[in-house]
Amino acid sequence: MKTITRLKDMDKIENSLAGDTGVCIVGCGTCATMCRTGGQEQVASMKRSLQALGKVLTGTLVVPTACDELSPQAVRDHKHAFDDADAVLAMTCAFGVQTLASTLMRPVIPALDTLFLGKEQAVGSYSEICMQCGECVLEDTAGICPVTACHKGLLNGPCGGTNKGKCEIGNDTDCAWAMIYNRLQAMGRLDRMRKYQPPKNYQAVSKPGKVQIPLQGSEAQ
Amino acid sequence: MSTAFKQALEDGKFVVTSEIGPPKGVNLDPMKHHIELLKDRVDALNVTDNQSSVMRFPSLGGTLNVKELGAEPILQMTCRDRNRLALQADLLFAYSRGVRNVLCLTGDAVPVGDHKQAKAVFDLESVQLLHTVRHLETGKDLGGNDLDGPVEFCVGAIVTPEADPLEPQLLKFEKKIQAGAEFFQTQAIYDLNNFRAFMDFARQFEVKILAGIVLLVSARMARYMNANVPGIFVPDELIAELEAAPKGEALKTGIRIAGRMIRELREEKICDGVHIMAIGKEEVVPDILAAAGM
């Protein structure tokens, strides 16, 4: 599972950087590299685009994992690049943007939009896997998540828009409930689908998400 | 408490419902004209709820117009645009104004409509909304709080007899019955043999089934629906019949087809009634009924 990101329109990035001349670009060696949105190659390409727009590049770097503790260290290691920059362009997920922003007293501009947590099914083709609803129902749905994979997040079976195994929204999207039905049937567990699923608890996770989980086992000693 | 519509279902007569589509705007005259035209020909009139995810005058408002003009309304309620607080509040309001028949729907997807960037709600869905209505009838809301004044509704749902695959749809149909659905209005049906097979299954349950009749106005429309509308299947013979219509007479042929189907459903007692959807051509519903010998 990784954070799936997509490059913003260059017009939008140019707009966000209006008035800033010195720019430092930060990529990420983890999810954004795997998505080919914030790796070495994309950072180098962005550098050329910004230079063509008349920006002065004070530095470019790809930190190992933009969201974690090492980012502040990487920022310290490249102090001059950041000190000389009017703005930092983050080619990372939104988590990376926020980690950098909390470390730097500089505007941090996202170059990417963060789409969802998912996986790459084929080259360049990404699917969302889990919406982190805080109330897992996979035990009744044959390991396929209807909250995520059904366009409407339905819990009690397919809607009238199901069409030959596909969803009415198009894009060749599979109907989650057709898949769930097929698997449950193959396993002889259709009784799971007959069970009434009550409305979800949308406060299962407080918003903004914040939780204190007591330590268990030996760690609790 | 029984509504006039529920009484009609229980009397065992062949029930006829039709639908009213509220306007985009506040010129209610055409909608009121359709209500006037149909009110003495049908047992109840559905009022659609932002149908096809297109923003319109609300179904709740439309059902009040139906009441005011002396007809029996069925409030269509989708879960796309309102969360559980708003749905329950609207049910209380509907009851207070004498709107006592509710059709519980999940609702079309937002991207098929005209506000494609809107946030889809789906806090509840059709089965949960049916449960919600039945729960309100116990005198409590979904939060477990007492209601000051009970409600009572005649509750329905929809089913798609031509869904592909059909089995998951039938399973959900059963869940809707368990959740308290008393009647079903089906998605459009055109193949009576397929529909008979569906009714053989549905007859084991104590629910009333009104077959969905969508007026065909051209061979082009039939082909379009076959290609683009999930759960609709127009057989080739009907398309050929529409195609063979003389220039300018396709609508007449569509009326004849709809009338013939209704007559067959009624005479052979295949189901308990029909729900006629003449999308945009409400003025010909009386002609359809005349063609059906009603």
Verify whether the Cβ–Cβ distance B167 to A163 is below 8 Å: no
For residues A77 and A63, give the distance between their C-alpha atoms in angstroms, rounded to a whole number.
Answer: 11
> Can you tell me the distance from the alpha carbon of B123 to that of B128, in angstroms, rounded to the nearest whole number?
9
Question: What value does the mean pLDDT of chain B take?
Answer: 96
| A98 pLDDT more than 80 | yes
Chain B: residue whose CA lies nearest to A176: B168
Residues in chain B closer than 8 A to A131 (CB atoms): none
Contacts of B164 in chain A (CB under 8 A): 162-164
Among candidates B34, B6, B39, which has minimal Cα distance to B20?
A: B34
Mean pLDDT for B80-98 is: 98
Report chain A residues whose CB lies below 8 A from the CB of B142.
Answer: 199
Say if CB A47 and CB A25 are below 8 A apart.
Answer: yes
Type of residue found at A221: Q
Out of A71-75, B10-14, B25-29, B118-122, which region has the weakest mean confidence (pLDDT)? Answer: A71-75
With H, G, I as helix, E, B as strand and everything else as coil, classify residue A94: helix
Q: Is the pLDDT of residue A221 over 80?
A: no
pLDDT band at B44; cut points 50, 70, 90? very high
How many Cα atoms are found within 13 Å in the side-chain-facing hemisphere of A117? 8
Please report, as a single letter, which amino acid is at residue A89: L
Domain harbouring B104, CATH code: 3.20.20.220
B74: number of Cβ within 10 Å: 29
Measure the CA–CA gap between B195 and B185, rounded to whole angstroms.
Answer: 13
**For residue A70, pLDDT beyond 80:** no
Distances in Å between the Cα of B291 and the Cα atoms of A37, B9, B138, B252 are 63, 23, 44, 10
Residues of chain A with CATH 3.40.50.2300: 2-115
> In whole angstroms, what separates CA B289 from the centre of its chain?
17
CA A45, CA A2: separation in Å to the nearest integer? 23
Count of domains for chain B: 1
Task: Determine the distance from the C-alpha atom of residue B84 to the mean position of all C-alpha atoms in its chain, rounded to a whole number.
Answer: 22
Residues 230-259 of B with CB under 8 A from A: 230-231
* Nearest-by-CA chain A residue for B168: A181
Query: What residues does A30 pair with on adjacent strands?
Result: none
Q: Distance of alpha carbon A136 from its chain centroid, rounded?
A: 19
Mean pLDDT across chain A = 94
- Kindly report the CATH class assigned to A2-115: alpha beta
Q: What is the mean pLDDT of residues B113-135?
A: 98
Q: Do A158 and B158 touch (CB under 8 A)?
A: no
Domain that holds residue B93: 4-291
- If you count them, how many residues does chain B have? 294
